[in-house]
Structure 1
Amino acid sequence: MIAIYFLIILLSSLQSYSIYAERYHPLAKLWKVDDTEVPELLERERKLILIDEILRPILEQDDFISSFGGTYLEIFENHIVVNTVNYSKVDDLLALSQITPHEAFLYFKEANNSMSQIKSNFEQISLQASLIKPQKVYIYTDMLINNNVIYILDSNLNNTKFINAIKPFNPTIIHANNPPASQNITQSQYVVDSRGLEVEVLGGDGLYNEASGVKCSVGFWATNIYDPNEFYIITAGHCYNSDFHNNLFYYTPWGSESPVLLIGSMVFDFLEYYDFGVIHLDGEDVSPTFSVRNDDADGYRELIITGDAPASSHGVHICKSGRATHFSCGYVLGLNGIFVLGEEGSTYDLIITNMYGGYSDSGGVVVSFVSSENLLSVVVHGIIVTVGPEDCTAQSIDTIFNELKKQTRYDLTLYLGGSRD
């Protein structure tokens, strides 16, 4: 009897430990730590970002731009790596009043390329891309590599002329890997009963274009600055089909192939230099939200948008929610990305990440976690533009709103709640 009693206690303890050690939070999965470790690491990352925001503009100044080659964060080491070409300038940097208090968080690593050289080479590579128009390549600066990167999505395409033309600028050339056989995506289904009810549509939910049959994802809700009861969804511009005059978009839940409710028509699409579109809310049964869908994670199924911010540092976490592959996280690899699609044109100012994404994730919301005290809280960085097994890119929210203001009559802001008549 005593043996049975102790066996029950042991099994109970093992079960408790199993629950305790589970990785439910998306950052626990990304960082391969227990949920209990996430707040401390998130706070550490936040502090390093604040220091990096002070440091980076200084390194861009004439006194330092030829001596240092950019920065990136290593949260597990709790420091910012400063790529260093000329060590004689380290003391000058540390002597600055803005930098001295943060010396303990800086790690100076020997590097070959200064930011002045990287920037000059990037301009030349970009020029050659605009002239030669290679097919399906990303161009960006990766601070961890300390160089400009040419990421070739399809090695079967002939980009030899472009590769030869940019050799003098010594980029790092990376070929995309083939997709793994299984991505182990949980295919949860969100069941909607829309009879007589307003259905909340969240960032990452599915969109269906009635005109073309194309499926995309909801980015985030926005409102008119001058009329807070006028609502819009921001998604990818390439979800629009120009062969049809009217593109009506419907809400499609995760795990469903069928459109459920009318949202409205796309009133503006942008594909020249940038990639985003604006859908006006016409449907009476759809309710705007400031939430992000994450149905696959127990305890973190609905994330709350508390604001927006530019992605500003290399090596930080970044996440997305989309119809195809749901919620996933990765790291920021580049902040000045260009996607070149041959004669079809180029998309600029992209956030380059190693997040996994699939077809119909396009337009989905891109976020990061910001509060160690509230692990449901996220800020919006933008929307997904291109997808791949390890190479999602995003158009930043500041680019979207700035271009909308310049190019159209729409002056929009991120929706964070409020009245709806």
Structure 2
Amino acid sequence: MVHAGQNEPLAKLWDIDDEEIPKYLEIERTLINADKIINQELVNLGVAGTIFAGSYIDVKTNKTNINTIDQSKARNIINNSPLLKQYEAFISIVIVKKSYDELKNLLNGINELAKKREPFGIVVTLHVINNEVIITSCNYNKRFLRDAEKMGAIIVSSTSCGQENHEDKEKDHESKIFDEFDINFPVFGGDGLYIKHTDPDKPEKYSIGFWAICENNVNCVVTAGHCFYGYPPNTTIKADCYHSGWNNEPSDKIIGKSAIYITTPYDLAIIDASDINVNLKLRAAIRNTGSAYSELIINDGITVSTIGAHLCKSGYITHVSCGYLKTLEGFVINIFGDWHENMYFTSTPATSGDSGSPLFSFSAINIVILNGILAGSFGGDTTGFLILSTIIEYAKLHPVTE
């Protein structure tokens, strides 16, 4: 159903009117809190991985869905726990075939198989909602996929495999947030990032993640590590990185030079912005589009860990889109054989050129919480992102918030 007052990205995700967003955000916050308490109690009771198989929230039904392999035992556990009994109104029991321990053992087995067979171009995820371990792969790795399927994994053919296509958005005049004659240009998360490689006439386009303060109190910008393929990691040769607003070609305004980048075990790059162009102004905000709010203020940074909670991204190519957190466990081996770890996976739409963009959740209609950066879209509705806690720990940085 299309609503007359449906302009905000969350309204489109939840299929509601814009004015209903605060109500549904409050429902989601309540469910997230209930989900955490319920799962911790199941851990305390020692049944989280044996009788149960994870949980996920559904904002539209106002429920926390709890997977179990034994409905009778699950109901008895809930009835005999005073704490769980308090949240019974939020609980919906879902019967599944595999316990969480079984799923985790299968995931670990696939991990060991991957180390032995050395596949590439695969995404392996533990899906609580589907109650399966799912492998998304290109049309190779046949021996690995055959063995993994025998172990019990579900195989899904990738629709990307390095052949991603996209259509550039038409110029959105409503998203323009500064006067065309203003000499100062704000730099937002989600803006374009052009990287000049060995051929200066063919810059690569990606997305800016977020502004942070790095070691020695230096301004820096975070993006994805694979944006710098072509330069050896930690090389003394630094790539020049330039800013671009949405729908624009590369500007001559430099953000900075690559400081560090890695592609394994994490997909992460840091740009030294200490000598940023004087007309560029870093902002603790994310660019928005098609909304009454052209910028989204970052006021916190955490990692969402509740399956079914909303997550959005703002990227240079596809702009702002939202989806749901799908899985907290899994790994990626890209087409170059690099392993990516500490990634979560969402259904948030993205494509080539959105890499590095910020992942965030809304706390209010124009205020957001930073969650990480987009690593890549792996076909279908699977998008992987590097979680914020890993970025902070590895790079020793602090996101700038307002």
Deviations 1:125-161 (A, max 9, x none): 1111122122211111111101111122x3xx22211
Q: Give the structure-2-normalised TM-score.
A: 0.88
The 2-side partners of 1:206 and 1:180 are apart by 18
**Structure 1 position 199, deviation (Å):** 2.1
Greater CA drift, 68-77 or 190-199 = 190-199
1:151 aligns with 2:133: no
> What is residue 255 of structure 1 aligned with on the other side?
247
Q: 2:374 corresponds to which residue?
A: 384
Cα shift readout 1:358-412 (whole Å, capped 9, x = no counterpart) = 2211100111112xxx3101101100111256322111111111122xxxxxx31
Cα deviations across residues 239-295 of structure 1 (Å, max 9, x unaligned)?
A: 12416711111111111122241111111112121001111111133222111101x
3-state DSSP of counterpart to 1:38:
helix
The RMSD of aligned alpha carbons is 2.5
Q: Which runs of no fewer than 5 residues in structure 1 stay unpaired?
A: 1-17, 405-410
What residue in structure 2 maps to residue 167 of structure 1? Answer: 149
1:342/1:214 Cα in 2 relative to 1: closer, same or farther (>3 Å)? Answer: closer
1:299 corresponds to:
292
Hey, what does 1:311 align to over in structure 2?
304
Does the CA-based 8 Å contact 2:165-2:351 persist in structure 1?
Answer: no
**What is the distance in 2 between the residues matched to 1:177 and 1:398?**
30
Q: Does residue 242 of structure 1 match 2:236?
A: no
Equivalent residue, structure 1, for 2:70: 86
- Deviation larger for 336-345 or 198-207: 336-345
Matched residue SS, 1:344: coil
* Match of residue 119 from structure 1: 104
Instruction: State the percentage of identical aligned residues.
Output: 27
Contact 1:383 1:394 in 2 (8 A): yes
Q: What is the alpha-carbon distance in structure 1 between the residues aligned to residue 154 and residue 265 of structure 2?
A: 24
1:168 and 1:59 mapped to 2: Cα distance? Answer: 31
2 CA distance for matches of 1:253 and 1:55? 44
Q: Alignment partner of 1:290: what SS? A: strand
Asked whether the equivalents of residues 67 and 114 of structure 1 are also in contact (C-alpha less than 8 Å), the reply is yes
What is the correspondence of 1:201-212 to structure 2 with a 5 Å cutoff?
Answer: 201-212=187-198
SS of match in other structure, 2:283: coil
Partner residue in 1 for 2:38? 55
The letter for the 2-side match of 1:292 is I
Q: What are the equivalent positions in structure 2 for 1:17-416 lying under 5 Å apart?
A: 21-60=4-43, 62-87=46-71, 88-152=73-137, 154=138, 157-177=139-159, 185-188=169-172, 190=176, 197-212=183-198, 213-224=203-214, 227=217, 230-240=218-228, 241-242=230-231, 245-281=237-273, 282-283=275-276, 284-294=278-288, 296-342=289-335, 344-370=337-363, 374-387=364-377, 388=379, 390-404=381-395, 411-416=396-401
Letter in 1 for 2:76: D
What is residue 408 of structure 1 aligned with on the other side?
none
Counterpart Cα distance in 2 of 1:137 and 1:74: 29
Q: State the one-letter code of the partner of 2:266.
A: Y
Letter paired with 2:102: Q
Structure 1, residues 155-181: CA drift from partner, whole Å, max 9, x if none? xx2221111222343122222347999
TM-score normalized by structure 1?
Answer: 0.85
> Within 2, Cα distance between the matches of 1:364 and 1:202?
10
* C-alpha displacement of 1:197: 3.4
> Over residues 100-146 of structure 1, what are the superposed CA-to-partner deviations in whole Å (9 max), with x where a residue is unaligned?
21111011111111011111111001111122122211111111101
Partner Cα separation in structure 1 for residue 380 and residue 193 of structure 2: 21
Cα deviations across residues 197-253 of structure 1 (Å, max 9, x unaligned)?
3321000001111235111111011114763xx211110011124167111111111
In 1: Cα distance, 2:366 partner to 2:381 partner = 25
Give the 3-state SS of the residue equivalent to 1:202 in structure 2. Answer: strand
SS in 2 for 1:131: helix
Task: State the secondary structure of the residue aligned to 1:33.
Answer: coil
- SS of the counterpart of 1:399? helix
**Is the deviation greater in 70-79 or in 383-392?**
383-392
- For residues 21-51 of structure 1, the C-alpha deviation after alignment (integer angstroms, 9 at most, x for no partner) is 2211111111111112222111111111111
Partner residue, 1:15: none
Distance change in 2, residues 1:257/1:112 (3 Å): same
Name which of structure 1's ranges 142-151 and 342-351 shifts more when overlaid on structure 2.
342-351
**Compared with structure 1, are the counterparts of its residues 286 and 164 closer, same or farther at alpha carbon in structure 2 (3 Å cutoff)?**
same
Contact 1:269–1:276 at 8 Å: present in 2 too? yes
> Which letter does structure 2 place at the counterpart of 1:170?
G
Matched residue type, 1:59: L
Q: Write the deviation string for residues 318-347 of structure 1: whole angstroms up to 9, x where unpaired.
A: 110011111111111111231112552211
> Does the CA-based 8 Å contact 1:311-1:335 persist in structure 2?
no
SS in 2 for 1:117: helix
What stretches of structure 2 of length at least 5 have no aligned partner?
none
State the SS of the aligned residue for 1:108: strand
Where 1:112 maps in the other structure, the secondary structure is coil
